[in-house]
Amino acid sequence: MTLDTLDTPKGQTETPISNMLLFKLSGEMFGIAVVCVNEILDPIKMTQVPNASEFVPAVINVRGSIVPLIDVRKRLLMPPQRPSPDIRFVVLELMIEDTLTKVAIAADEVSQVIDTAALNLERIPELGARWPRDFVNGVIRHGDNLVVILNSENLFRPDPANEKSV
């Protein structure tokens, strides 16, 4: 079991451990399961795609493969990205609509990989929640920070009702 599922079987005696990649978007700390991470790249040239959705506005060339650049800030209702020398592209390999797919996201900063137990995951209270519930599994405490754990299955799923496909 990973943190991508909040189901902890009753009577479980072992605490599942998951590795999480921590990164920042607009000053907020987020985490995604390391098993999804293919590589982390220094900034490279993005190519804007004419008439593309706001969710997938560009593509990048990753070792000869064209990879869609997902703007997760749009899905998380966050302000647009500001240019920074610390920006990194996190290339992910995910099952999207039953197909293993590479996508990339632009993170303001990639900080570290941590081990965490699924039992440390806490639901975000409805009152004051900033992010759409479908895209977030919950939060964990890491030092003095709260880390928002993303639900990669829902976050990267195309939304045909509201999004144009690339």
**48 or 166: which leads in pLDDT:** 48
| Among the listed residues 15, 131, 79, 74, the one whose alpha carbon sits nearest the alpha carbon of residue 3 | 15
Which phi-psi region, left, alpha or beta, contains residue 153 (left: φ > 0; alpha: ψ -120 to 50)? alpha
For position 159, what pLDDT does the model report? 67
Average pLDDT score, the chain:
83
**Predicted pLDDT of residue 89:** 96
Q: Is the pLDDT of residue 162 over 60?
A: no
Phi, psi at 43, each rounded to 5°: -55, 135
Q: What's the whole-number mean pLDDT along residues 56-74?
A: 93
pLDDT value at residue 131: 79
3 state SS of 143:
coil
Contact 91, 101 (CB under 8 A): no
For the chain, give the percent of residues with pLDDT over 90.
Answer: 45
pLDDT digits (tens, 9 = 90+) for 114-149: 988 877 888 887 766 677 888 999 899 898 888 999
Can you tell me the mean pLDDT for 106-116?
92
Mean pLDDT of 35-54: 92
CA distance 48 to 57: 6
Q: Which of 17-31, 117-131, 151-165 has the lowest mean pLDDT?
A: 151-165
Domain 17-153 fold is OB fold (Dihydrolipoamide Acetyltransferase, E2P) (2.40.50)
Q: Is the pTM of this model over 0.95?
A: no
- The residue written with tokens 């490279």 in the block is 44
Would you state the pLDDT for residue 80? 84
The pLDDT tens digits for 29-41 are: 999 999 999 999 9
SS3 at position 133: helix
